[in-house]
């Protein structure tokens, strides 16, 4: 039965501590073949006054946003064409790759590129999955696309997968795979 103990400073909300214990449980399961109920995670909280680094008392760092929630908020802003809101969720080195085009670094590029493909597109999600890898949160969103072609004809049920990298609470990469070109060619 694995037991994990973590020491944190006071100041994190209950929801943030729950996220931390769930993430530590997931980390153990990645290596040890133990069911959830066999993994114990204990958080030890210390008052800010009991901690100093370099002789200076420090406050805890703010918790990062949930990466899957950040991605869903970004995708909702994009669907609503609230580009300023979406851009606020992007890191300085943001890059996105869509099928059939070179990588883009600005949302306006994506909007211009999509004008020759369809009038609008909406996403229905089957799953959104997040995990940590090499200092980045990786988020996969998958499901189907629906919308309207340039001629006004409706489409639906087109598969997609979006992969995001989130670093420091900002989206730095988006990779998109979908079957829109194959369906449009029919």
Express each pLDDT in 23-78 by its tens digit.
Answer: 999 999 989 999 989 999 999 999 988 888 898 888 888 999 999 999 999 999 99
Greatest distance between any 2 Cα atoms in the chain: 69
Task: With respect to residue 134, please indicate whether it lies within any of the assigned structural domains.
Answer: yes
Q: What is the pLDDT of residue 53?
A: 86
Task: With respect to residue 154, please indicate whether it lies within any of the assigned structural domains.
Answer: yes
Distance between CA atoms of 27 and 18, rounded to whole angstroms? 14
Question: What angle (nearest 5°) sits at the alpha carbon of residue 43, between those of residues 70 and 35?
Answer: 80
CB contact at 8 A, 110 and 117: no
User: How far is C-alpha 133 from the chain's CA centre?
Assistant: 12
Per the structure, the count of domains in the chain is 2
Q: Which domain holds residue 166?
A: 67-185
9, 31: one domain = yes
105, 180: one domain = yes
Task: With respect to residue 62, please indicate whether it lies within any of the assigned structural domains.
Answer: no
110, 92: one domain = yes
Tens of pLDDT, residues 10-24: 989 999 999 999 999
């Amino acid at each position: 039965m694995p037991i994990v103990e973590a020491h944190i400073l006071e100041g994190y909300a209950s929801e943030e501590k729950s996220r931390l214990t769930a993430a530590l449980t997931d980390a153990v399961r990645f290596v040890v073949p133990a069911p959830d109920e066999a993994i114990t995670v204990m958080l030890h909280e210390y008052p800010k006054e009991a901690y100093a680094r370099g002789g200076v008392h420090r406050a805890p760092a703010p918790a990062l946003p949930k990466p899957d929630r950040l991605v869903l908020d970004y995708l909702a802003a994009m669907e609503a064409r609230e580009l300023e809101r979406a851009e606020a969720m992007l890191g300085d080195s943001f890059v996105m790759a869509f099928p059939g085009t070179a990588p883009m670094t600005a949302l306006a590029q994506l909007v211009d590129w999509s004008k020759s493909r369809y009038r609008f597109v909406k996403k229905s999600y089957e799953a959104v999955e997040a995990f940590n890898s090499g200092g980045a949160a990786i988020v996969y969103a998958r499901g189907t696309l629906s919308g309207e072609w340039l001629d006004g004809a409706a489409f639906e049920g087109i598969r997609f997968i979006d992969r995001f990298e989130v670093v420091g609470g900002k989206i730095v990469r988006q990779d998109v795979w979908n079957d829109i070109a194959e369906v449009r060619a029919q």
